Amino acid sequence: MKPNRLGRVSTAALAIAAGASMAAADEASELAELRERVEVLEAELDDPGRPQLRFNIGENTEIQIYGFVRFEAAYDFNFAQGDATTASVIGDPAAETDGDFETSVRVSRLGVRSDTTTDIGQIKTELEFDLFSEDSATSSPDLRLRKAFINVNDRFLLGQQNSNFMPSIHYPRSVEFNGPVGLPFARVVQARYTHSANGFTFSGSIEEAAGSAEFPTGGSEDPLATAALLYNISDSASVRVAGLVGTFSEAGTQEQLDTNGIVLSGTFVPWQGGRFGATYTTGQALGNLLIGGGARSNGAGEENDSQSFSLELTQQVTEQVSVGVAYGNESYDFATPFDASIPGNGGYTDLQSVHLNVFYTPVERFTLAAEYVWIESEDDFTGRVDDGSRVGVSATFRF
């Protein structure tokens, strides 16, 4: 044991012993308990992989505090996107700029997990927040709830978590918050069932409809239903298919329309240190779930069909340095206006993006990163094509 660790253990042991002497109920049992607690403390200090912000509440519950603090800075060319890439503003005259500099700490995150042994098995909870409640960069952002759920035996999940439709396990890596277009994303309240056997994991859920600008609660009086099947081919390769069905209310008309979709995803290791991933999503009225945020309908009672995909390749160059490239594409049948309240303001039917990044981890849990992002926006109906780009850097320390 290292000297500083020995000092910490000795101090803890003296404190425990002092408390035990004050109680003085059963000296023999108290000394036995003291030895056990010191041994546990020593084991924790000697295990570098064990999170240090972890402690017990009673005999059956363990609490872990986790999160990270992140500083970001970015410079936009052509179109101002805010402190996270926003593909839907590329081509919007209101967002044109000769250059726009942004800084942010809003991605910073704080969470608490619990794990309790009960008569019906393990009950876990998670409560997680970030600072992304504001629409734009601010020096005093508010907390935003990300996750709040109960998980019974890793089988029944109740609460707010990433949608079961999302291929979270196969998401490409990016420095900035949103990542490439072409990906489905939603975090909603849900009831989910999961079962794993022989390399397969099935999950099904009933979910609150994801919100949109027109309808913060999703514009639906009915829940969505999802199902997914993940197959782990090996430790380094897996594939997943997920489906979604439901309804929503069209903005303006309040007419009930259908939404449905399928997402296929997978990753594998083509060579040592490499990783290749891909996703493909298709369906009706999925714009509110895609990074590009396209319209769900044309405003005249027709669902907006979409096709989207993403590709990613990363490479671990050294133990401390990794690089990556990700490409995303979204295509819609109907154009999404930049501002529906301004006639003739234009819009987009196609989006594509490229993310080039590098990550450097000089010491454990501390990462420096840089990224170049290029986004192109196109309107098939008017022939308009615009592009924008940004460079960004970040520093992240995880705890």
Q: What is the CATH number of the domain that holds 94?
A: 2.40.160.10
- Tell whether 136 and 220 lie within a shared domain: yes
Range 260-264 average pLDDT = 98
- Tell whether 244 and 288 lie within a shared domain: yes
Q: What is the pLDDT of residue 94?
A: 93
DSSP string, 318-347: SSSEEEEEEEEEEEEEEEEES-TTSTT--E
- Tell whether 23 and 74 lie within a shared domain: no
pLDDT in tens, 291-308: 999 999 998 899 999 999
CA-based angle 284:285:286, to the nearest 5? 95
CB atoms within 10 A of CB 94: 11
pLDDT at residue 13 greater than cutoff 80: no
- Tell whether 142 and 21 lie within a shared domain: no
Task: Identify the domain boundary among 49, 64, 89.
Answer: 49
Contact 91/338 with Cβ under 8 angstroms? yes
How confident is residue 23, by pLDDT bands cut at 50, 70 and 90? very low
Residue 161 in tokens:
């978590």
Select, from the ranges 58-62, 210-214, 315-319, 338-342, the one with the highest average predicted confidence (pLDDT): 315-319
pLDDT in tens, 364-379: 999 999 999 999 999 9
Contact 285/257 with Cβ under 8 angstroms? yes
For 274, half-sphere exposure in the C-beta direction (CA atoms, 13 angstrom radius) is 10
How confident is residue 137, by pLDDT bands cut at 50, 70 and 90? low
pLDDT at residue 354 greater than cutoff 80: yes
Length of the chain: 399
Radius of gyration of the chain (CA): 25
Full residue range of the structural domain in which residue 22 is found: 1-49
- Tell whether 80 and 173 lie within a shared domain: yes
- Tell whether 20 and 131 lie within a shared domain: no
Give the torsion sign (CA, 173, 177, 183, 185): positive
Range 21-39 average pLDDT = 43
Q: What is the pLDDT of residue 16?
A: 37
Q: What is the pLDDT of residue 334?
A: 96
> Higher model confidence: residue 23 or residue 307?
307
Report the mean per-residue pLDDT for the chain: 87
Place of tokens 């609660």: 217
Beta strands in 235-365 (DSSP E): 237-249, 256-268, 274-284, 305-316, 321-337, 347-363
Q: What is the pLDDT of residue 250?
A: 85
How confident is residue 100, by pLDDT bands cut at 50, 70 and 90? very high
SS3 at position 48: coil
Range 337-347 average pLDDT = 80
Contact 218/212 with Cβ under 8 angstroms? yes
Percent of the chain residues past pLDDT 70, beyond the cut? 84
- 381: Cβ contacts below 8 Å, ≥ 6 apart: 335, 349
Contact 360/320 with Cβ under 8 angstroms? yes
Residue 278 in tokens:
């891909």
- 160: Cβ contacts below 8 Å, ≥ 6 apart: 145, 146, 147, 148, 149, 187, 188, 189, 190
CB atoms within 10 A of CB 363: 8
Alpha carbon distance 229, 63 (integer Å): 31
Range 191-213 average pLDDT = 92
Number of domains the chain is built from? 2
pLDDT at residue 21 greater than cutoff 70: no
- Tell whether 45 and 69 lie within a shared domain: no
Contact 202/226 with Cβ under 8 angstroms? no
DSSP string, 91-146: T-GGGEEEEEEEEE-TT-EEEEEEEEEETTEEEEEEEEEESTTSSS--SSPPPEEE
Alpha carbon distance 202, 193 (integer Å): 8
Range 168-182 average pLDDT = 95
- Tell whether 38 and 95 lie within a shared domain: no
Alpha carbon distance 341, 343 (integer Å): 6
- 374: Cβ contacts below 8 Å, ≥ 6 apart: 353, 354, 387, 388, 389
Range 11-24 average pLDDT = 40
Contact 74/53 with Cβ under 8 angstroms? no
How confident is residue 140, by pLDDT bands cut at 50, 70 and 90? confident
> Higher model confidence: residue 39 or residue 279?
279
- Tell whether 33 and 112 lie within a shared domain: no
- Tell whether 16 and 110 lie within a shared domain: no
- Tell whether 193 and 288 lie within a shared domain: yes
- Tell whether 20 and 70 lie within a shared domain: no
